[in-house]
Structure formats: structure tokens, C-alpha cells
Amino acid sequence: MPATLVKKSRKSARTSAPKAKPKKGASARRASKKPAKRAGKMVYYFGKTKTEGRAELKALLGGKGANLADMTSIGLPVPPGFTITTDTCAAYYESGKRLPRGLMDEVVKNVRTLERELGKKFGSTKNPLLVSVRSGAAVSMPGMMDTVLNLGLTDDAVEGLAAATGNKRFAYDAYRRLINMFGDVVMGVDHEHFEQAFNEVKSKYGAAADTDVPAEGLVELCHAYKGVYRHHVGSDFPQNPLKQLELAVEAVFKSWNADRAISYRRLANITGLNGTAVNVQAMVYGNMGDDSGTGVAFTRNPSTGENKFYGEFLVNAQGEDVVAGIRTPTTVDEMPRWNKKVYEQLLKIKTKLEKHYREMQDIEFTIEKGKLYMLQTRTGKRTGFAAVTIACNMIKERLIDEKKALLRIPANDLTQLLLPSFDPAAKKNADVLAVGLPASPGAAVGKPAFTAAEAVERGRTGESVILVRRETSPEDVEGMHSAAGILTSTGGMTSHAAVVARGWGKCCVAGAGAISIDERGGTFTVQGRTFTRHDTISIDGTSGEVIAGAVPRVEPKLSGDFATIMKLSDKYRRLSIRTNADTPGDAKRAREFGAVGIGLCRTEHMFFEGDRIMAMREMILAETREYREAALEKLLPFQRADFVGIFTAMDGLPVTIRLIDPPLHEFLPQDEKSQLEVARRINVPVEKVRERVKQLHEMNPMLGHRGCRLCLTYPEILEMQVRAIVEAAIECHRAGVKAMPEIMHPLVGTRKELAILRRHTEEVIARTKKEQGFTAKLEIAIGTMIEVPRAALTAAEIAKEADFFSFGTNDLTQLTFGYSRDDSASFLPHYVHSEILEIDPFQSLDQVGVGQLVSLATVKGRETKKGLKVGICGEHGGDPKSVWFCHNAGLDYVSCSPFRVPIARLAAAQAALR
Amino acid sequence: MPATLVKKSRKSARTSAPKAKPKKGASARRASKKPAKRAGKMVYYFGKTKTEGRAELKALLGGKGANLADMTSIGLPVPPGFTITTDTCAAYYESGKRLPRGLMDEVVKNVRTLERELGKKFGSTKNPLLVSVRSGAAVSMPGMMDTVLNLGLTDDAVEGLAAATGNKRFAYDAYRRLINMFGDVVMGVDHEHFEQAFNEVKSKYGAAADTDVPAEGLVELCHAYKGVYRHHVGSDFPQNPLKQLELAVEAVFKSWNADRAISYRRLANITGLNGTAVNVQAMVYGNMGDDSGTGVAFTRNPSTGENKFYGEFLVNAQGEDVVAGIRTPTTVDEMPRWNKKVYEQLLKIKTKLEKHYREMQDIEFTIEKGKLYMLQTRTGKRTGFAAVTIACNMIKERLIDEKKALLRIPANDLTQLLLPSFDPAAKKNADVLAVGLPASPGAAVGKPAFTAAEAVERGRTGESVILVRRETSPEDVEGMHSAAGILTSTGGMTSHAAVVARGWGKCCVAGAGAISIDERGGTFTVQGRTFTRHDTISIDGTSGEVIAGAVPRVEPKLSGDFATIMKLSDKYRRLSIRTNADTPGDAKRAREFGAVGIGLCRTEHMFFEGDRIMAMREMILAETREYREAALEKLLPFQRADFVGIFTAMDGLPVTIRLIDPPLHEFLPQDEKSQLEVARRINVPVEKVRERVKQLHEMNPMLGHRGCRLCLTYPEILEMQVRAIVEAAIECHRAGVKAMPEIMHPLVGTRKELAILRRHTEEVIARTKKEQGFTAKLEIAIGTMIEVPRAALTAAEIAKEADFFSFGTNDLTQLTFGYSRDDSASFLPHYVHSEILEIDPFQSLDQVGVGQLVSLATVKGRETKKGLKVGICGEHGGDPKSVWFCHNAGLDYVSCSPFRVPIARLAAAQAALR
């Protein structure tokens, strides 16, 4: 046989090996694969005898199991045990919720090893082995079954434990805890049934606290608990430790699909996991006396990021006592006074763990009769502040490099650094009235205003008002701007209120359905309580809470570390970050946040303020081009002044101005009273106003007469707007300010549209320059939004007329999916909840569908015009995942609301580093 | 040098040859190319001396020019002349409306050749050459400059003509015609100014008719005309024949972009042409006495298709006299009595021309002093009836083969064969009140009904009513069905009224804006006249006319020739033709028209009739799934019965049933009164109805909670519908009828949606079969509409869950363009008018954009699932161009409204033959 053939057959033999071991680094991605029919090796041991797992097997062993194995390997004092794999959980579900065949055999084998290692025996009447059983998925996840402790105790074994510890009270205390926990979390017996029995025993013995009950009382209690168990479960508390173990393992598997776990995964957007692992570990006791204890700690301060050991412990207690908050724990700072040796050992472990994981750790530990045991370590959760500080400190400490540091910070969490927030301490006792959607982060305190006009009026006097509306519309913008915060009773995360508020970084709680608003009466009612414009309320845009009274706030501090992270981000990112801003104020703020241009300056908001709306209405009501032009003439100075302000704020940076976009009817009043007012103000019969409103009414305004369709049918609007831009630019130039306008035509769907608009725009630019006698250089790029699917599909053609593309991913998403943002609340939450959609496509760009159009248009556009500038200016521009996509799609920039600029800068760097 | 290199360089030399001659067969397609900077050879001569043009050069010489050359070549008696090319016209426009350099030199050269051939001379005082100048594009096109006759006459030459003909009156008559025509069509002097001068001369000489004016009068008239010319033009009538010619040529070029010509091209959807040619031809005279004459004729009857020479002529007249209708012409049947020789010569020419062109011809001829001249031949326009008959006859006569015959019939013209129409004779004197959009062909006569209920009620008594509404909504369907025709004052070609009417083949005139409707008063007003429910009106769905009184109608005859064409179509087409039908009646009719299945059976129309709407409303108002199910239970028997009816009508043919599609609010009443009625009928407080209506209101219902989103959020609707389908199929099977249902889920955008729906559908099918104890074979395909861009983009994924795809091109067009059909009237007409869009994309599929998605999804879907059945069920299924596209895209079938099935069959054959 020739050598090559031998080689080949060997190779294929290897490839088809049945037990493909998980490869190093496969990590989380591996979890998305379905397990083989039978999960191969189902149990991994860790202990002195052997340690089969390791940190890289997180997907298979869960975070907890992998880290227990890991800690064991690096010599930390970990009680031995074993982990049942996540694949086994998947197999459990695949075979219709039945434990895979062979599993319990493997479990028993590992129990035997454990027994040998510890010299104890399951169910022994002399020295029984007791274990804890815990769930543990690859990603930390509350909502699943937490813990069963002391498993292995039976009527016999409890006596053995009493004998071995010489502490009958301790033994029966452990037993009653087991029956209670097992009954509760494994068998679903309501905790209160046990509680009741405990109270009876306590009163019998006149005991105030649990610890006051004597041993005999606990013996009685165990008896009573078994009765409760029998009554509610319908069978006796199992006296076979292996049976206990089997039931507990299955309960952990079941808890993977408990409602709370599912909803947590949905909210945290965790997908692609196999299931949970089960960790079975020898018990150690923090409640064996005053030389014992238990605690949880962070290797650094998770709130501030300070590099200081941070945690709490309880003397003579079991782990759940710390978590449950029954007794008040002591901070670890005080530990040296209790046991200096253990404290120093903990500090050494802290350093060892951080060196090993190069990450801040969240640990659990127990001290049994003076001996320290590590029960868990995992990456510690932290605030945005802490994330930034820790990243910066760890660079300084040379624990990690700049790139790793940047990748560590969840970009979205930077929001916390930018907005004031309610004092967490004060919020603990808050009088929460309702919880709506956390539509726009922030913490606002004020008194309700029930109309936009009211908000403006009261805002003028310096009063802090919360605009409370069923929903908001473009007519409300001024009132929204005047308000300290916005609260709506309907509408979702992408409702008008939410989008506008986020754009401004203004606090907004949307869709607080529990609130019933009586606009005329000037009240809102919730939980049977009525609030008027004289009652102060607080709204938390980060949590969605609506709170009675004024909750104290803390202002953000943009620390030096924040600046460091921004600087580093700029060092590594390829994408430019622009901002969506319509006012000089927004533009200025965004520039401070690091925006290098405006990617979307909407012009229609400018038409709503004060007198402008009247001129706008006059224009719309005009019957001839001449009258329209006369009305537009009145708007021109306003627009020009607006642009002068924005150009000045962005001196030397490009400003992409989108010409008028919304349908004209949005500018007309819909109610009788306002129609009368308009008719009077601009001196036309009210019938005419009414008729025009009716005439302009559209079944589907999103798909109607808007965008560039307006300037194509009313070219005089384009003329006014372009003139205002050019005149403003010239005025700026003369004042020594470098204006760099780019004119963007929205909603283009065919090349011809843009060709006509481009020609017309160029004409007006040339004419205006001539009129102004301006001969200096003033280059104005002309481009288009790509927001209609057809524009993306025909990008090669459209690029012939465009100097730049800017993806309007809001509308592109609406059209690609056929979803109206305004109406999607009726089905979109259900879609996300039932995982029809992995994520709300208005929050994070749908890469498969909408993204396909973005990529296609980018490629096709650049095939036509090499170096075509391409950006994105939808809401997605500030979403880290979407920024990552834009980086990969080769875009030149993303544009987002001012407050998201820092997030986008970091996300862009992360995209480049990934 | 090696041989290969030599070859190569030769080849490239040839490729870059500057004067690329137009290739044979390039024909119309060639015209879309821009001409070279200078148009090369600009003038083509035809005559005894030489003939440079030929039929194939139509794109370059125009239809008229090419055919004149062609007729000359085959020996027909054609006055000689020359043609200036269409490229020259294009060059004229490209150089900013200036005649290309060198053109007049070429023209002069050809004039000299003409002079030599005829022995005449331009401007001669003895025997002057006179010419006609005519426009002539590649496609026949009214609206351009028609003709200048007698060009070449001057104050001198007119004397020469008098001398040469010995007829002073004739000469001055020719001169006054020239001054008039030249002034009018070349220089733009209003004809009425000449008319006035003529009247003065006539009254001076007491002449009743033009012919009564003596020679002296005409001399005076020429003088007066020159005065009119000078007054209005500002210069003297040109006395240089070449100057006259130059001006006339330029006028022809200018007329190419006259408003009328542009709008004709738009209406006839003529694109891609270069410009017009100019034909300069020696004059012959039909007005030189009673042995002279002129006429126009068709080689066959253009109305009926009968193979009989058909036409009219006038003795002693010039061509325009026939066209202008000043004198009543004689039919050619009477020609033998006037001049048998000429008549027989014409019959021979008819045969020769038909043999040559193998097509029915439309000819112009002139007899000058007994000698016959052919002035023009072109393909004759004909009615749909004639097209079918001529095609069939020509096959029999072996003039053309089957394939050519099929390709000859404009598929859309078959409509004329399927619908009754107004008697053209009677329509001539009709009292036309208004002209709306020809929304759905047909001819309806009846008395106005102003509400749907009224239409139903009066329809029941057998009265023929025309439903007259501002616009219609789904609640009106019953009334629409009862009416003989539908007339709306707003709404476009794709408004609700138009779409529903076309679906039924019911006559509809939409958007007749001149009509003002007073629904309460029961009247409509137009042109100051008021019509009540007692006045009879006629509406013509083919022309859009609204006519007072009853216009007589003629019924269609589906001739044997029609059947022949259908049979031939089926022989050559590859696409299957299905129909869109919701009722057994429609299904039956479509089957008679040749549909081989139903491609779209909408189920929601079934919910509007009678009691059903109440059950439907009950379902929508129900607050729990249980109540909803109870209400749906009431609908089930109705649905089942509907399906039994349709399955029976389509026995043995597939029926694709689309589950519920419209948003629920369409089923609820919007006005107070109806809401009260509903509340009473289904016994709930009216507030609840009102609240639910409010709650269901959507900003953009097109993008809202509809389509499969309904069955995903209310799975019980799916259960009822699928159960009804399966029960109906089983009932049919038991009755010996073969039901072949296919279940189609609308508006799918993600694979997951369809996966869930498919699983649920399969469950209900299995459950229902089991309940029914049905064990025989009943295969039900499950598929989806592709109507959301994202579905097309992710077709590879979606195909995994689909047995078939059906493109819903209506919605796909709406979403791809971002156009709402309901609202597009505000800009779409402008878009079509100004050629931003070549054609209304709701009428004919946008192949570049929407078609790209159709092609992509077809390819991707079949990559996933080989042999995936793919069809189209939008309105486009009945549009010939779209059918062609679907053929090329590899679709399996198109589905269209019953009345368009024959059109689609023919169009599919044409697509296969092209």
C-alpha cells in the first residue's frame, strides 16, 4: 500500500472517531451544537484523586463546574466532587425528559470515588458523606434551581453525622434543612408549609430565633417536616441517598426550562446554550461553631472598581444564610480580627485567582472549624463605573493588555457613566407605583404635566415637570423638550416618546400600562391612587419604575478612567463615530462626547417650534406654487439660523443634513380646536383646513407621501432648504467658521429620483452661491439615505448619483420585515418572548435580513463608485452588536444619538479587536 | 511577429472602427444605444437611382422611412425621396438642439439626386420639385409633427408649378396650403389666423366651400397668408426652398419632445427610442382632377380581422383631407366603378405587401392623373378580436407559423373578447359626464345606489344598479357584488374598488374626481347636473367614461379562433396558469377559462358575509382564548361549507388557501351606530366595542398585526381554519370529489414563524383526520407567501419549512418600494408622468427591484429544496410583461384573476417563444 493512502486512511479514521473530545477554545460557541445521541462521558470528577475538568470546558461543565475543576487544579482548597455535563441536560430533554441511560451508573461510580477520597460513605451511620447539588450553566443565570445542601442525610445517616461530629443538634439542624430544601426546590412543596411547622416547634420551646431551638426540638422538627413532605408530595422523604441524588439531578435539569430561567435568558439575550450542568460536591460546614463561617466576596469593588478585597461573611452559618439576608453579615474588612490566618489566606487566593483568570472574581468560601474551603469562583458582575476602572487598573497592573481591557467593558454599560441616576440607597424604600419600559435611561423628578403646552408653560417658569401622556406625537416635541422626563402609558421601546427621548438623552418611561390618564381632568390614576399636577413623582428610565415623591439623585462623574478608555477606543477603532443631532446644543454635546461629525441632522423638527409651525401650515395649505413659495420664504430665515448654529457647533466637521422627511399631515393639527386656531391665524376658512387634513390623511403614512417624494412633487421645499443650507454655510465662512454640509435625500428608491434631486440641488447651490457673490471653495456632497429595500437592491445604479450612502436602518428594518414601529407592540413582544425573533430588530440590527441589504448595497455601491462613503444613521448606530456588524460590513462610520457616542466609540474598537 | 498576435491586432482594429454600421436585425433594441458623437451617414435615399435603406433599419430610419425604402425595393410605385436618420435627431438633442454639422450638405446632395431622377428642380420657375416632409419614429406615434406638404414652393416656383401643370388655381392652392401648414406646424402660428384670412377671401368671392374660390382668390389668399405669416412669425415666408426644408427638418426634430409626443410615449409605455427620423419625399397629387384621388386602407378588416381589403378614398383630394374628415370619403369597395385598373393594382399590392411583411398592413396611397403611388405602409392596428382572427387566418393561409401567430397577439387585448362592451356606434353621441380611471374593463348600465346596503337591497329586486361611492372598503363587498358596476370619486387603479372589481371581472370606473357625491342626499353632481337613484347612467370600464343614460351594449363572442389561440398557447407555454378565486362561482369561471388550479384563495372575504361578520366580531371582542374558540366554532361550519364549494368546483385541481391575512380591526365597525348595533347583537357594552376598536387601531395597518402574525398570537384561528379545510376535504372525498388543498401562511418573514405554523398546521391536520376517522390518503402541502422582503432575502432558510413559495407581489412591491397602494395616488401618478418610474409597479412587476427579490428567493429556495414549487399570486400574475418575467425567473405557475387567465395563458406561451 503506498504511503499516501495509509496516511489518508489514518486521518479519516481519526476524523470519524466517535468520542470527539471538545477542543480547547471551543468554549461558548460549542454549546450551540446539538449533543450526540448519548452524551459520551457524562460526569467529570474534581478532587485530589483526579481532576477531569478544566476552565476551557465551560460550555460542557457550566461556569461553576469548570471553575471548581480549575481551582482544584491550581491547588486551591476545594471540597471534592463531580460535575454532570450540560450535554447530559440536553440529552434529558431530547429523550422526552428522561435521565439518559447509564447516567446514574456513572454518578454512582463517582460517588464511590468521592467516598474513597474522603473516607466517608453515603448513608453511613458512622461517618456519612453529605453533598451539595447545584445547577450551573455556561453563563451565570438566576432562576434555575439553586442549591440542595446536606443531601445524603437519612434517618440513619443523621445519627451517623451526630456521631461523627459529636453534635446532635448540628446533625438534626442539617437534616431539617435538607428536608425543607429538598421538599421545596426538588419536589415543589411550598416553603411556607415547613415554615408553619417550624413556628409550632419554636413556640413549643419558647424559642425566638431558629438557633434557640434545642436538639430535641430539631429532632421533633425533622419528624414534623417529614410529615409535611409526605402530605404534600404523597410519598415518604426518600431514605436512599442515591435516590435523593437522582431526584435532585432531575430537578436541576427541569429548572433549566422553568419560566423564570427562560425569561431571564430572554431578557439577558442568552441563546445557543445546551442546558445546565449539575455540580455535586462534598459538604463543608460553616455552621460548626464560632470557628466556622461562610462568605461571598469580590476580588475588587464591583461598584467602584477599586482594587480592594470586598465582601461579607457570617460566623457559624451556612452559605444560604448570607444570601437570604436573615442575619446581617460582617464585611471582610473585619475578618482579621476574627481569624487573621484565614483572611491572609483569602487575600493570597484573591491574588492567585486574579493572576489565573486575569479578571475580577466573585467567590464563595466556607471556613469549617478554622479550615478554609473555596466553593465557587466566577467572573464578577460590576457596574459600568467599575468595569471602566477595573479595566484601566488592570492595564496599569499589567494583568491585561489594552486590547483585552477594551474588550472587557460591556459598551452599553457606559450609559451609566453618562447619566445622573437615583441614589440606590434611597431607592430601596421607594414607593413604586408602576413599572413601564425603560425607554430612555436617566432619573427624572418633577410634577406631572398633561399636555405639551402645559409642559412648555410650566417649564418656562423653571418648574421641573414630567410630561405624562398616553403617547406622544411630533406636535408634542416642544413639550417633551421642556420636560425633565417623559412618561407614557402606551407605546414601546421604539415609540415616538422613546426614540425622541433617547435621541436627547432624556429620561423616559414608556408604556406604563397600569397608569390611567385623564388629560382633561389633569390627573392620572394608578393602584387606586390619583396624582395631580401638584404631586411630585420620580421616573427611572433605567429600570422603568414610576415612583411617588422625589427620589434623591447622584450626578455622574466622567472619571479619568473614562477618558482613558475613550482614548484607547480611538486608538483601535476603524469606524468613525458621528452623531444624530438636530440642534446646536445636541451637536455640541455630541462633539464633547467625541463625535467627528453629524451623520443625521433632521430638518423637520425645526418646523415645529413656535411661529415656524404656522408658516409650515401656511405652506401646506397653499394652493399654488406661488403661495407655497411665499410661505416657505418665511421659513427660510429660521432654517438658515438653525444651520448657522449647527455648523458653528460642528466647525470643521461634516454635517449631513437630511431634507424634509415626514408626511405633510404630521404638521397639520388633527383636532377641531387647533384647526380653528390655524384657520384664524393664517386667515383661511376652517373648512379648508379640515378638508386639507382629510385630503392628506393616509392609510399607511409610513409608506406614503413623504421623504424625497415631497421634494419631487413640491420642488420649492427643496429650494428653500438647500438655499438655507448654502446661505448658512456662506454666512459661517464669512464669520471664519468652517461649515461642511452634506445634503442627504431621504427615502430614495430609484436612481431617477436621486438624479432629479441631485440636479435640482446642484442648481440651487450654484444659484445661491451666485446670488451671494460667493466664489470661495464650498464643496457640498450630495447623497442619499438607503432605507427602502429597493434602494439597497439597486445600489449599483443609485451610487451613480450619490456621493455617499447613509443607511436609515429604522425604516429599512420596518420595510424589510414589514413591521410598523408604531404598531409592532401588538405582536413584537410575543415574537421576542417566544424566540421567533432572537432580538427586537429595532434594538439591534437584524444581520441576516436587513444586514444582508446593508452589505449588498455597500458592496454594489462601491463597485460603481470606489471609495463611496457609507455610514449608518438609524437607531442601531448606538447598539454595540450593530456597530460590530457595521465594522464587518466595511462601513465608514456609524452615527448615533449624542449620549451613545462613547458607547459606539468603544463598540467600534471592540469590533476592530475581535 | 507570430500569427496569433497579428490576428489579435486585426481584430481589435476592427472593433474600434469608428463607423460601426447598424447590424441586420438590430431593429428596435438598437435604438436604446446612444448614437456616436456624429451620426455617421445621416441621410438614406430611396428611388429608382438607388435605395439605401431597408426594412431592418427601422430603428435608424423610423418605421415610415424603412418601409418606403422597402416598398421601393420590391418594385412598388413609391415617389422617390430620402430619410434623415433617428440618430441625427438624437445628435440634434445632444448638441443642445442644433442641427448636426454636415447634415444640410448631405440633404442638399440628396435633393440634387432627387432633382436628377425626376427632372425637376427645387425652386424652379419652370418645373419645380416639391416635397413632403414627415416625421417617422421607429414606433408609430401620434403627437409629433405630422406633415408639411408642397414644400419647395416660393413666389417664383408657384408660377413654375402653374406653368408645368397648366393649372394656376392648383398651383396657388398648393402654395396657400404650404404657407398655412408651414406657418402652423413649423413656425407655430395658430391655424385660426389663417382660417380668418381664408374666410375673408371666401366671403369676398361669395364662395361657400374652399373649392369655390377661383384662382385669383387663391393668389390673393397667398398674399394674405404671407401677411399673416409675417405678422406672427416676425419675418417673411422663406423664399429659399432649402431654407424651408431646413426649418421643417428642425421642426420635426423639435416635435419629438413636444408635450403630446412625450405623454403619448408615456401612455403607450414606449421607451428606449433615439428620436424621430425625417422623411422627405417628392410630392404627388391626388387633387389634380377627377382622375386623381387619395386614400387609406387596411389589407384586412382591422375590427373583425376578416381577410378583405378595407379602406376609404376621396377623389380629387390630398391626403390630409381623408384624415381631417372635411369631406366624407368613399369605401374602397366602390373604387372599381371609378377606376377598375387602379383598384386591381391595389389588390395586387395588398397581396404583395402581405406576402412581403407577413402581416396586415395599413397603407396610404394617392392616384395622380390615373397613376397609383404608394405613400406609406405599416403594420395595421387592430382590435383584440381582429388580432385573434388575423392570427388564425394567417396560419391557415400559411403566411405565418403558429409561433409567430401567437407572438402577434397583444395578450392584454384578449380582454376585449371576454367582456361585453358598449356599441361603438352608440357611444359616438354619448353624453359623457366625466372621465375617471379605467379601473376594471366592462360596460355597465344602471341606476346609482349610494350605499352598499342600498345596492344589495335594490339588486335583490333585480334592478341594475351602479354603486357610487367616494371609495369602497371591505364592508362594501356585498354591495359591490350586487352592483352591475362600481363608480368611485377617489382612489386609483389599485384602490379597493378597482382591485376587487378586476378580481370579479366587474366593470369599475375609479377616481372620477369631477363627481361630487352626497351620500345622505342620495345624489351626485357633475358639471352642475345632479343625478339621483332614479337616473340611469352608463360607465365604461375600458375608457373610464361616465355617461348619462343607457348606452346600448354588444355581448362578446368567444369565437372558434379564440379557442384555437388558447389551445396553441397551451401547446407552447411552460408556466401553469392558476387563478385567484374565493368563491365557487369564480373558481368555476376560471376553470372554464383554463385555470389549472387556484393559486390564491383568500379566506377573509368569507368572514364578511351576513351572520359571519357577527361571529367574527364576537371572536375579536372575546377576552379569553375560550371565548375566542367558542366564537370561532360558529364560523367553522361557514368556512367548511365555503371550502366544500370551492373544492367541488376545482375537483382534481390544487387549491392554495391562504389563512387569515387582514388586521382584525378591518372586521370591526368604525362608526358609532354600527358599534352600537354590534354591541347589542353580541350582547356586550358598547364601550367595550369602542375600546377594542381603539385598541386595535393601527398607524400603519399594512405593517401591523396581520398575516401570520395573527395565527401566531391567536393560534385558535389557525386551528379553526385548518380544521375547516381538512373537514371539507374529507367531506369532498366521501362525496367522490377530489380535494387538493394547499395551506399557505401569509406574511412570513422568518423561518421560525413558518416552523411554528407548520408544526401547528400538521398537528391540526392529523388531529382532524383522526377525529373524522379518515384513513385514506389526503396530502396537504404547507407553504408560504413570499411577500416581505426579509422572506425573500432568507428564502434559503424559509424553504426548509415550506413545500411551496407563492410570491405575493402586491405586498412585496409595497414593501420593496415603501409605497402604500392606498396612499400612492399622491405621488405615483407624478412619478409615472415624469418617468421617474417607467411604469406603475403595481400594474407591471418592477423587474429590477422586486423582481430581483423574486429571482433570488426562487434560486435560494430551490438550492435548499430541489423542486420547490414556486408561483406568483399578486395582481401581476395577469400582466403579460410580468408573466414573461416569471417565465424567465423559472417559476412554476402564475395565478391571476379569472378574467385574466386567458391573457396569462397566451402571455406564458409568448414568453416561452421569445
H/E/C letters for each residue in A636-673? HHHHHHHHHHHHHHCCCCEEEEECCCCCHHHHCCCCHH
* Residue of A712, A823, A849 lying closest to B703 (CB–CB): A823
Please say whether the beta carbons of B688 and B679 come within 8 A.
Answer: yes
Q: Is B800 on the interface with A (CB under 8 A)?
A: no
How close does chain A come to B630, measured CA to CA in Å?
Answer: 23
Quote the pLDDT of residue B267: 60
Q: Which segments of chain B have a pLDDT < 70? A: 1-39, 142-143, 263-264, 266-269, 320-328, 492-494, 499, 502-505, 555, 557-559
Dihedral angle at the C-alpha atoms of B859, B865, B867, B872, nearest 10 degrees? -50
User: Chain A residues with CB inside 8 Å of B819's CB?
Assistant: 703
User: Chain B residues with CB inside 8 Å of A757's CB?
Assistant: none
Nearest chain B alpha carbon to A746: B818
Quote the pLDDT of residue B317: 86
The set of cell numbers assigned to B499 is 382591485
Q: How far apart are CA A69 and CA A44, in angstroms?
A: 9
Nearest chain A alpha carbon to B714: A827
Contact A816 B793 (CB under 8 A): yes
N-to-C CA span, chain B: 46
Contact A827 B698 (CB under 8 A): no
Contact B750 A836 (CB under 8 A): yes
Please say whether the beta carbons of B542 and B441 come within 8 A.
Answer: yes
Statement: residue A588 has pLDDT above 90: yes
* Residue of B713, B747, B820 lying closest to A700 (CB–CB): B820
* Residue of B787, B793, B818 lying closest to A703 (CB–CB): B818
How many residues in chain B? 914
Neighbour count for residue B328 (Cβ, 10 Å): 7
Q: Cα–Cα–Cα angle for B392, B394, B398, nearest 5°?
A: 120
How close does chain B come to A199, measured CA to CA in Å?
Answer: 42
Catalytic residue among B89, B222, B507, B873: B873
**Chain-wide mean pLDDT for chain A?**
89
At A39, the pLDDT band (50, 70, 90 cuts) reads low
Quote the pLDDT of residue A522: 93
* Residue of B702, B747, B794 lying closest to A700 (CB–CB): B702
Catalytic residue among A711, A873, A886, A896: A873
3 state DSSP class of B398 = coil
Quote the pLDDT of residue A322: 61
3 state DSSP class of A626 = helix
* Residue of B713, B752, B820 lying closest to A698 (CB–CB): B820
The set of cell numbers assigned to A420 is 445622573
3 state DSSP class of B811 = helix
Q: How far apart are CA B588 and CA A128, in angstroms?
A: 83
Interface of A with B in 682-701 (CB under 8 A): 698-701
User: Sheet harboring B507-510: ordered strands across?
Assistant: B431-435, B545-548, B537-540, B443-449, B465-469, B485-488, B507-510, B437-440
Q: Cα–Cα–Cα angle for A431, A434, A440, nearest 5°?
A: 105
Q: How far apart are CA B702 and CA B706, in angstroms?
A: 8
Contact A700 B701 (CB under 8 A): yes
Contact B794 A712 (CB under 8 A): no
Which position has the grid cell 425595393?
A: B73
- Inter-axis angle of helices B625-649 and B612-621, nearest 10: 150
Please say whether the beta carbons of A387 and A413 come within 8 A.
Answer: yes
- Inter-axis angle of helices B241-255 and B103-118, nearest 10: 120
Catalytic residue among A89, A392, A481, A496: A496
Quote the pLDDT of residue A504: 65
Q: Which amino acid is at B324?
A: A
* B27-52 per-position pLDDT tens digit: 433 333 444 345 589 999 999 999 99
The set of cell numbers assigned to A387 is 468595569
How close does chain A come to B809, measured CA to CA in Å?
Answer: 14
Q: How far apart are CA A257 and CA A273, in angstroms?
A: 12
User: Whole-prediction pTM value?
Assistant: 0.78
Please say whether the beta carbons of B290 and B172 come within 8 A.
Answer: no
* Residue of B789, B814, B850 lying closest to A816 (CB–CB): B789
Q: What percent of chain A has pLDDT over 90?
A: 67
Contact A699 B827 (CB under 8 A): no
* A497-507 per-position pLDDT tens digit: 876 776 566 88
Instruction: Give which of B713, B787, B793, B848 to mutate to test A binding, by max A Cβ within 10 Å.
Output: B793
Interface of B with A in 724-753 (CB under 8 A): 747, 749-750, 752-753
Q: How far apart are CA B338 and CA B355, in angstroms?
A: 27
The set of cell numbers assigned to B264 is 403619448
Residue A122 φ/ψ, nearest 5 degrees: -60, 125
Determine whether A697 is an active site residue: no
Contact B790 A820 (CB under 8 A): no
The single-letter DSSP state of residue B185 is: I
Nearest chain B alpha carbon to A849: B790
Q: How far apart are CA A367 and CA A377, in angstroms?
A: 16
Contact B698 A822 (CB under 8 A): yes
At A24, the pLDDT band (50, 70, 90 cuts) reads very low
Q: How many CB pairs under 8 A join A and B?
A: 170
Q: How far apart are CA A716 and CA A693, in angstroms?
A: 21
Contact A830 B705 (CB under 8 A): no
* B499-529 per-position pLDDT tens digit: 677 666 688 998 888 899 999 999 999 999 9
Q: How far apart are CA B300 and CA B311, in angstroms?
A: 9
* A785-823 per-position pLDDT tens digit: 999 999 999 999 999 999 999 999 999 999 999 999 888
Contact A713 B817 (CB under 8 A): no
Nearest chain A alpha carbon to B490: A695
* Residue of A698, A713, A846 lying closest to B823 (CB–CB): A698
Q: Cα–Cα–Cα angle for B496, B501, B504, nearest 5°?
A: 135
User: Chain A residues with CB inside 8 Å of B823's CB?
Assistant: 698-701, 703-705
Q: Is B759 on the interface with A (CB under 8 A)?
A: no
Dihedral angle at the C-alpha atoms of B219, B225, B229, B230, nearest 10 degrees? 60
- Helix H segments across B366-430? 384-396, 402-408, 415-418, 424-427
Please provide the DSSP assignment of A740-775 as one string.
Answer: EEEEEETT--SHHHHHHHHHHHHHHHHHHHHHTT--
User: Chain A residues with CB inside 8 Å of B699's CB?
Assistant: 700-702, 820, 822-823
How close does chain B come to A254, measured CA to CA in Å?
Answer: 23
Contact B846 A790 (CB under 8 A): yes
How close does chain B come to A811, measured CA to CA in Å?
Answer: 9
Quote the pLDDT of residue A326: 55
Please say whether the beta carbons of A256 and A275 come within 8 A.
Answer: yes
Report the Cα B563 to chain-centroid distance in Å: 23
Q: How far apart are CA A70 and CA A104, in angstroms?
A: 25
* Residue of B699, B712, B789 lying closest to A820 (CB–CB): B699
Q: How far apart are CA A491 and CA A826, in angstroms?
A: 10
- Write the CA distances from A883 to A67, A411, A889, A904, integer angstroms: 32, 11, 10, 7
Contact B830 A750 (CB under 8 A): no
* Residue of A703, A835, A849 lying closest to B700 (CB–CB): A703
How close does chain A come to B268, measured CA to CA in Å?
Answer: 20
Contact B699 A698 (CB under 8 A): no
Interface of B with A in 832-871 (CB under 8 A): 834-837, 846, 848-850, 852-853
Among A600, A620, A509, residue whose Cα is nearest residue A895:
A600
Burial class of residue A683, CB neighbours in 10 A (0-12, 13-18, 19+): exposed
How close does chain B come to A764, measured CA to CA in Å?
Answer: 20
Among B769, B765, B844, B846, residue whose Cα is nearest residue B803:
B765
How close does chain A come to B818, measured CA to CA in Å?
Answer: 5
Nearest chain A alpha carbon to B826: A705
Q: How far apart are CA B465 and CA B536, in angstroms?
A: 9
* A468-508 per-position pLDDT tens digit: 999 888 778 888 988 999 999 987 665 778 767 765 668 89
Q: Which amino acid is at A24?
A: K
* A844-853 per-position pLDDT tens digit: 999 999 999 9
Determine whether A496 is an active site residue: yes
Contact A826 B705 (CB under 8 A): yes
User: Chain B residues with CB inside 8 Å of A707's CB?
Assistant: 818
Please say whether the beta carbons of B800 and A826 come within 8 A.
Answer: no
Catalytic residue among B496, B605, B665, B876: B496
Q: How far apart are CA B90 and CA B99, in angstroms?
A: 10
Which region among A509-513, A558-562, A881-885 has the lowest average model confidence (pLDDT)? A558-562
At A18, the pLDDT band (50, 70, 90 cuts) reads very low
Statement: residue A22 has pLDDT above 60: no
